[in-house]
Chain A
Amino acid sequence: MISVAWKSLRSRWSTALLALLAIAMSVALILTVEKIRRDARTSFTQTVSGTDLIIGARSGSVQLLLYSVFRIGNATSNISWESVEDIKSRNAIDWVIPLSLGDSHAGFRVLGTNLDYFEHYRYADKRALSLASGKHFDDVFDAVIGSEVASQLRYEVGDNIVVAHGTGSVALVEHDQQPFTVSGILEPTGTPVDRAIHVSLQGIEAMHIDWRNGATVKGEGTSAETIRNMELKPTAVTALLVGLKSRATVFREQRAINTYREEPLLAILPGVALQELWGLVSVAENALMIVSVFVVIAGLVNLMSVLLSGLNERRREMAVLRSVGARPAHVFLLLCIESALLAIGGIIAGLVLHYLIVGAGSFYLQDRFGLAVPLTLPQQADIQILVGVAFAGLIAGMIPALQAYRKSLADGLSQKV
C-alpha cells in the first residue's frame, strides 16, 4: 500500500514536491520563531545570576535592567559616589559591583568597574568569569576585554587601545592622550560581557581628566604618569549590582533603597524585572506565533488543494484500482497515506531547513545582538508543534480521500476519454 502511494507520488513529483516544500517552509518558520523566542529568553536569563538587586537612578525597572546588564539604551542619570558609599555600608549587603557606562571603543561599550566584578559577577548557572589569557586590571590604564572584542578587533594582551567619549562607533572626541593597555582577555560567556571592555573606575576618571574643561586640545593632555600619581576618586557610577548576605533581607533592602532620602534611587530584583520584560515582549511574540501558525495553515491548505486537484486527473487511476479489486476503503487509505507521506516529508525537510537557517543566522545574531542561538535538538514544544502539523496534514488529506472514497468507481468509469 505504501509503495503504491509512494509510486503514485513519484509519478506526479513536481506538484508533490511543491506541496512538500510549502509545508517544509512553514514548519521551518514556526520552529525558528519558537527557537529564537526561547533562546532569547535563555540568553537574557543567563546573563545575570546570583545578583540579588540592581540599583540605579530612579526610572523604570525594565529600563534599569536593560541598560545596566544588557547595555541596551542609556541611563537617565547616575548614582553619586556618596550614595554608593552609603549603600556599601549597609549591614545586609555582602558585595557591591559598581558599573560605570558611557564610553566606547570601536563600537564596543567600555565598562568601568572594580575587581569585585571579576570576583562576584555570575552568569548562566552561577558561573564566574574567568580569564582566557593575561590578568585582571591592576593599573589605571589596564583593560580587560571580552572574548568577542578580542576576536573581532584581533587584540591580544599588551595591545594599546584608545577609548572614545560617548557610545557611538564614530566618536568625535577620542581620549587619545591616555591609551589603555589590554591586560587580560576573558573566556567567552555568551552574554554581553563578551562585548565589553572592562577598565577600573579610576581608568574612567583618568580618561576624563582632560575632558573636564569641556573639550580636549590635542597635544596638551595630561601625561599618563601624572595621572597615575593623582588621586582618582570616582564621582558617580551608572548602576550597582548588589549581593546580599541573606536572601531573606532582599525585600527590606529594596524598600530601603527605593525610599532612600538623599537621592532618588531604584532597586530592582533582576529576575522580577525580566519577568516584567517578558510581559511586554509577549505581545510581539504572540503576534509572531500567530503569523507562523497561519503560514502553517496556508501550507496545509496547499497540500489539500494539490491532492484535490490531483483527484480530477486521477479518476481513471482510481477506477482502474477499483476494477482490479481495490475496495473504496483502499482508495481512501491510499490517499491518506499519500498526504501523510507529504506531511512527514515536509516536516523532515522543514527541520533540515530550520537547522540551516539557525546555523547560518546564529553568527549574525551573536554578532549583532550578542544573542546566543546554539543548535539544539528539538525541545518538547517543538515536538508538540511537529506532531500537531502531522495531524493537521493527515486531516487535510482525509478530505480529498473521502471524496475519492465516495465517487471513485462511478466517476472513473463514466469519464469520457
Chain B
Amino acid sequence: MKIFVALAAVAVGYSITASAQTERDLDSHVHGAANLNVAIADSAVFIELNTPWNNLVGFEHAPRTDEQHALVDSVLQQLKEPGQLFVFDGGDCRIDSVMLENTMTENDTHDEDHDGEHGHGHDDEHGDEHDDEHDDEHGDEHGDEHGDEHDDEHGDEHGDEHGDEHDDEHGDEHDEEHASEKSNESDESSTHSTVLATYAYNCGEITELNSIDLSLFSLWPGFNELDVQLIGETGQTLVELTPENTMLSLDSVQ
C-alpha cells in the first residue's frame, strides 16, 4: 500500500493523495508550446495564457539558487504587467484585472481563489500573496525539514513519509472543495509546472478592436508556437501563432 501511495504521488504529483478517482490523469505538457485563450464578450476582452514554466525560465522545478529565484520573480512581475505582453490595435482597451495561478514551487496555498466564479478584485493581492507565501511558508515548512534533497526526491518522500501529513493539511480544504477545479494546475508540480495568467480588459470601442500583437515570443525565446483559441460574437476559431507571425487578427470573430 505504501508503495502504491508512493507511486501515485510520483505519478500525479503532490497534493492529491486524499480524494481523486482518476488519480493518474495527467494533462499533456509540451515544452515550447503554450495555449492562449482569447474571449471577446460584450465590451470586455479576456485573455488567458497557459504555459509551461520551461518556456519562461528554462526550468520547471522549484527555484534552487538565488538567481533562479530572481528570474522567477522577475517573470512573475512581467506577467503581472500585461502592457508589454499584449498590444491592442484599436478598441480603447484598458487592463481591468490580472490573475496568476502558478503550480511551480509546490505552492498549494493559493487555492482560495479557485471557486467557480473568480471575481476581479483580488487579483493583485493574489500575485503578491503568492510570492510571499512561497518564500515564507514554503521555506519554513519544507526547507527546514528536508533541506536540499527536497526538490529531487520530492515525489517519493511525500508519498512515503508525508502522505498522512498532507492529507491532514490539505485534504479537506483543498481536495474536496477544489478537486474538479484545479487538478491540472497543481498535480504536475513534481515534474512539470505551469503558470496560468488571466487578464481582463475593458474596452470603450470594442467594435474598433482589430488585432492584438503579442510580444511573448520576443520576451521569452522559449516559445516556439502558441495555439490561440479565439471566441467572439460571430464564432470560435483556432489560430496558430509563431515567432514570425505574432499578430492575432480578430476579424474572424468580430
List the interface of chain A (C-beta within 8 A of B).
49, 52, 90-92, 246-248, 250-252, 255-256, 258-264, 269-272, 275-276
Contact = CB atoms under 8 A, between A and B. Distances in A.
Most buried by A among B20, B27, B116, B117: B116
3 closest pairs, A vs B, by CB? A271-B236, A275-B238, A247-B41
B22 A261 contact: yes
15 contacts: A90-B116, A247-B41, A247-B232, A250-B231, A251-B37, A255-B184, A259-B25, A259-B183, A259-B184, A261-B21, A261-B180, A262-B21, A262-B22, A271-B238, A272-B237
A127 to B, nearest CB: 14
A91 B180 contact: no
A52 B22 CA distance: 26
Interface string B221-243: 00000000101100111100000
Contacts of A260: 180
Contacts of A276: 238
B180 A271 contact: no
B125 interface: no
A91 B20 contact: no
Interface in B208-228: none
A255 B198 CA distance: 13
B170 interface: no
Interface in B172-216: 179-184
B11 interface: no
Contacts of A275: 237-238
Contact of B181 (A52, A256, A271): A256
Interface string B34-70: 0001011100101010000000000000000000000
A299 B29 CA distance: 50
Contact of A259 (B40, B180, B231): B180
B2 interface: no
B19 interface: yes
B40 A247 contact: yes
Given A250-B231, A260-B180, A91 B46 contact: no
Given A269-B236, A270-B236, A248 B182 contact: no
A264 B39 CA distance: 25
Contacts of B48: 251
B179 A261 contact: yes
A269 B238 CA distance: 9
Given A91-B117, A250-B39, A261-B25, 13 more contacts: A49-B235, A92-B116, A92-B117, A248-B44, A256-B180, A256-B181, A260-B180, A264-B25, A269-B236, A271-B235, A272-B229, A272-B236, A275-B237
Contacts, number: 72
A262 B46 CA distance: 29
A90 B181 CA distance: 12
A261 B183 contact: yes
A268 to B, nearest CB: 10
Contacts of B183: 259, 261
A264 B22 contact: yes
A53 B200 CA distance: 21
B235 A256 contact: no
Contacts of B236: 269-272
A265 to B, nearest CB: 10
Nearest to A61: B238
A205 B195 CA distance: 45
Contacts of B41: 246-248
Contacts of A52: 231
Contacts of B237: 271-272, 275
Given A248-B44, A251-B229, A264-B22, A91 B116 contact: yes
Contact of B238 (A49, A259, A262, A272): A272
Nearest to A251: B37
Nearest to B239: A275
A52 B44 CA distance: 17
B30 to A, nearest CB: 15
Most buried by B among A49, A258, A260, A271: A271
Interface string B1-38: 00000000000000000011110010100000000010
Contacts of A90: 116
Nearest to A275: B238
Contact of B118 (A49, A252, A272): A252
Nearest to B200: A248
Contacts of A263: 21-22
A307 to B, nearest CB: 44
B238 A256 contact: no
Contacts of A264: 22, 25
A223 B116 CA distance: 46
A271 B40 CA distance: 15
Interface in B77-96: none
Most buried by A among B40, B180, B232, B238: B238
A259 B116 CA distance: 13
Given A92-B116, A246-B41, A261-B20, A271 B25 contact: no
Given A90-B116, A92-B116, A271-B231, A251 B39 contact: yes
A248 B21 contact: no
Interface string B117-128: 110000000000
